[in-house]
Structure 1
Amino acid sequence: MAGYRIGVTSELRRPDGSLLFGDIGLHRLVDAGLEWELMPAVDGDVPPVELVARYDAVLAVGHLHFPRELVAAAPRLRHVARFGAGYDGIDLDGLAAEGVVVTNTPTAVRRPLAVAALTLLLAQAHRLAENHRAAVEGRWADRGRYRGAGVVGRTVGILGFGAVGAELAELLLPLGVRVVASNRSGTSPRAAELGVVMVPTERLAAESDYVVVTAALTPSSHHLVDEAFLAAMRPTAHLVNVARGGVVDQVALTAALAEGRLAGAALDVLDPEPPAADDPLLTMPDVVVTPHALCWTADFTREVSADVVQALLDVAHGRRPEHVLNPGAWDRRRG
């Protein structure tokens, strides 16, 4: 495959020059006769056509947007490979029409992201942020003031019951919780296997002690957790978001927390990212915020790296990769 060139988006490298995830196995591409290079940083969400047009494939480590008009003007491009599961900002139908295959790594992400969600849920259940602050500020007399609700006998609502949601339910059920869930279709064979009750979104909001957001960000899920959803939640309930910041109306969430209409929140994702330095969510005592990286464990890096490199190799050599997000593109693929 001499001359097959892969561009790796600039997010792979930190400002200090080190690699964000360390070695992700790009030597496998070179060993297979492919070329790769780190793309320059891009201003804005959409890379310039003249940059994308240089490559047969793009390994998208961050969240650049790939609209149809971009790839239509870059006829060399065959493949956009996402390092991770999310694909918001990528026009799947448009790229399929142009014959550009889009892949992601959902299997590798599933367990680390579910464990990250469980970590944040347990942090809320034990009021970890408030107890941490009491300890580091020397307020040992406040021991017992921040007693958590725990999880036994509580109801956890999983908003967006796909692969990650099902994995989370499997982790939660042995802890003695009741799990309810909702998704776009309203049904799930996996839910039936696990004993998870599928309910409408409004019922999930009303019944849950903890709501965990695992829904993909799409036009229909943007601000799925809105003012009405938050108003339906119990004032003792907590919100956990490990999906995308845009699934939650952050202004409405901030107001609900500030006014005591919600007990707390734990957020690995925000809108925008990074947040403004004066964002009130960063200083609220009942809120835990992490920088969209909580699932980035050693096993996450190893498995996602292996899957994304394999997808790049497969497409380059004419093999259908395992996780194609726009199947119609395979029949129309370029090259």
Structure 2
Amino acid sequence: MAKIVAVDTDFADNNLEAAMAQEAGVDFEATRGRTVEAVIRSLQETGAQGAVTSYALFPREVFEACPNLKVVSRTGVGYDEIDVEAATEHGVAVCNVPGYGTEVVSDHAITLVLSVLRRINELDADMRRGVWDYARTRPLGQCRGRTFGVVGMGEIGRATARKAAGLGFDVVCWSRSLKPGRRTPEGYPVLRLEELLQQADVVSLHTALTPETHHLIDAQRLALMKDSAVLVNTARGAVVDTVALAQALCEGKLWGAGLDVFEEEQPFDFSHPIMKAPHAVLSAHAAYWSEESGRELRQRAMQAAIDAVQGRVPVDCLNPGVFSR
């Protein structure tokens, strides 16, 4: 019987995955530990052909040490923890779950924007201290009359743009796949990144993390932004130089920030300078989750692993060519 192991998934339990495995006639086991050593140990000790994971590391060493492995299915859109090239060389399928969180992540991005502009966290803190005085938190911003810049126009970026436009923002965008000077099919002007940073009152990041986008927003690019601007990141933490961002906020060279992702999250450093930066609304990598999106995420990731170990090509496979070998 084929076996799938949940390797350090980001859920309270794996009952859903276990039930799906039982129905499909596949053995299943849940393990913990996201380091390379822990992953290798889990796969070798269980003899698993499939792995479902959230944040465990799958570099080349894992594929070299685990010849029985046929598939790694990640419960998310990004896959920077997995060496896809090495997996392909070893005949291992790599799957993800694109599109599952489009609406909820874009909801969260917009929520962070509004929270910073309207200073909701600061107003709430005053109320809980017994202070009734909105003037303490002025200035308070609004949507209409402001320019909203979307960096990265994949599914989530486009959904965020749609929602921002609906609120009254003037939307502009940048994407590596779009040519500046043109418009998107929705009618949004495409700018050069530097132009977008200079013009936008809100910059919302929705680009994948690659070597080219690591610290895409660094001190130099932060300096291009308006002192009154807001930066929001629901993409990947390392797209932003967070130390430089904290410094810009503390020095008043940027108005505010809304962050759901951070460069180091496991464990998170609560002494990081961003924790003391003014006008920053922070959430613990929660943008991807709603009860509805979470169930879809888990079902699709597990189904991909089941399909692969049973010899079928999963719907969301990054390297389907491994099945033709």
Other-structure match for 1:329: 322
- 1:159-201 CA-partner distances (Å, limit 9, x unpaired): 121111011112222222121222222349xx62211222211
- Corresponding letter in the other structure for 2:20: R
Letter in 1 for 2:310: H
Residue 126 of structure 1: how far off its partner (Å): 1.1
Q: 2:105 aligns with which of 99, 113, 122?
A: 113
Alignment-mate amino acid for residue 294 of structure 2: T
Aligned residues: 321
Which residue of structure 2 lines up, in the alignment, with residue 236 of structure 1?
228
Hey, what does 2:294 align to over in structure 1?
301
Candidates 252, 255, 260, aligned match of 1:260: 252
**2:220 counterpart of 1:220:** no
- The answer to whether the Cα contact below 8 Å between 1:46 and 1:64 also exists between their aligned partners in 2 is no
Q: Secondary structure at the match of 1:87?
A: coil
Once residues 158 and 120 of structure 1 are traced to their aligned partners in structure 2, the CA distance between those partners, rounded to angstroms, is 14
Residue 37 (structure 2) pairs with residue 39 (structure 1)? no
Summarize deviations over 1:185-239 as a string: whole Å, max 9, x none.
2349xx6221122221111111111111111111111101111110001000001
Residues 69 and 249 of structure 1: is their aligned pair in 2 closer, same or farther, counting only changes over 3 Å?
A: same
- C-alpha separation in 1, matches of 2:78 and 2:297: 13
CA contact (8 A) 2:246 2:277 kept: no
- Of residues 87, 90, 93, the one that matches 1:101 is 93
| Per-residue deviation, 1:41 | 2.3
- The letter of the residue matching 1:331 is S
Give the deviation of 1:330 after TM superposition: 3.4
Report if aligned partners of 2:250, 2:278 keep a CA contact under 8 Å in 1. Answer: no
Moved over 6 A (4+): none
Equivalent-residue separation in structure 2 for 1:153 and 1:327 (angstroms): 47
More off after superposition, 251-260 vs 293-302: 293-302
Pair 1:49-2:20 in alignment:
no
SS at match of 1:310: helix
* CA distance in 2: counterparts of 1:327 and 1:187, whole angstroms: 30
Assess, with a 3 A threshold, how the Cα gap between structure 1 residues 106 and 326 changes in structure 2: closer, same or farther.
same
Amino acid at match of 2:321: G
Identify if the C-alpha distance between structure 1 residues 32 and 327 changes in structure 2 by more than 3 Å, giving closer, same or farther.
closer
Q: Which whole-Å CA distance do the structure 2 matches of 1:47 and 1:196 have between them?
A: 46
**1:198 maps to what in 2?**
190
Provide TM-score, normalisation by structure 2. 0.92
Name the CA distance, whole Å, in 2 between partners of 1:27 and 1:48: 23
Which is worse superposed, 118-127 or 227-236?
118-127
Q: Distance in 2 between matches of 1:87 and 1:243?
A: 12
* Percent identity for Structure 1 against Structure 2: 33
Please name the residue that 2:138 is paired with.
146
Using a 3 Å threshold, how does the CA distance of structure 1 residues 175 and 314 change in structure 2: closer, same or farther?
same
Q: 1:161 aligns with which of 153, 164, 168?
A: 153
Pairing partner for 2:237 from 245, 265, 268: 245
Kept in 2, the 8 Å contact 1:96–1:327? The answer is no
**How far apart in 2 are the matches of 1:310 and 1:146?**
50
Using the TM superposition, give the Cα deviation of residue 99 of structure 1 relative to its aligned residue in structure 2, in angstroms.
1.2
Matches of 1:25 and 1:47 in 2, distance apart?
A: 20
CA distance in 1, matches of 2:237, 2:69: 29
CA distance change for structure 1 residues 136 and 68 in 2, over 3 Å: closer, same or farther? same
1:5 corresponds in structure 2 to 3
SS at match of 1:153: coil
Provide the rounded CA distance (Å) in 2 between the counterparts of 1:37 and 1:201.
46
1:309-320 maps to which residues of 2 (within 5 A)?
309-320=302-313
CA distance in 2, matches of 1:175, 1:142: 23
**Aligned-residue CA RMSD in angstroms?**
2.1
User: Given the superposition, is the C-alpha separation of residues 46 and 217 from structure 1 closer, same or farther in structure 2, using an over 3 Å criterion?
Assistant: farther
CA distance, structure 2, for counterparts of residue 197 and residue 113 of structure 1: 23
